[in-house]
Amino acid sequence: QKEVEQDPGPLSVPEGAIVSLNCTYSNSAFQYFMWYRQYSRKGPELLMYTYSSGNKEDGRFTAQVDKSSKYISLFIRDSQPSDSATYLCAMSAGGTSYGKLTFGQGTILTVHP
């Protein structure tokens, strides 16, 4: 079983839809959680960053972390065609494992006009 599981999709939604992306993990030591967006042939771009449990909102994006369920989510409101990309979750523990980031496989999202 992988440490981080992410449904690869692909996910196709109409413009304006609410998108929900999710990852589950097995390592209870994870405490730093990130969401990245990656366009084709580009490097991953940091979207959201959360430490420990809770919610974080930035514009149309909301990140949620539920450490008790080992489950993180990214919500995109009012989705736009420009949101079409691969979304990657990533996480790490602290202390001596701070530098070791583990990624999900990525979810391919297409938002059609």
Does position 32 interact with another protein (CB under 8 A)? The reply is yes
Residue with the two structure tokens 């701070």: 98
Q: How far is the CB of 63 from another protein (least distance, A)?
A: 12
Any contact of residue 53 with another protein (CB under 8 A)? no
Q: Between 73 and 92, whose beta carbon lies closer to another protein? A: 92
CA distances in angstroms from 22 to 6, 56, 98, listed in the order given: 6, 15, 22
Determine, following the binding rule CB under 8 A, whether residue 42 of this chain makes contact with another protein: yes
Report the distance separating Cα 98 and Cα 79, nearest Å: 33
Rounded to an integer, what distance in angstroms lies between the CA atom of residue 95 and that of residue 47?
Answer: 24
Kindly tell me the sign of the dihedral angle through the C-alpha atoms of 64, 102, 5, 107: positive
Cβ atoms 85, 74 nearer than 8 A: no
Count of residues near another protein by CB under 8 A = 22
Q: Does 1 bind another protein (CB under 8 A)?
A: no
43 contributes a contact to another protein by CB under 8 A: yes
In the complex, least distance from residue 6 CB atom to another protein, rounded to whole angstroms: 8
Using CB under 8 A, list all residues that contact another protein. 32, 34, 36, 41-46, 49, 51, 88, 90, 98-106
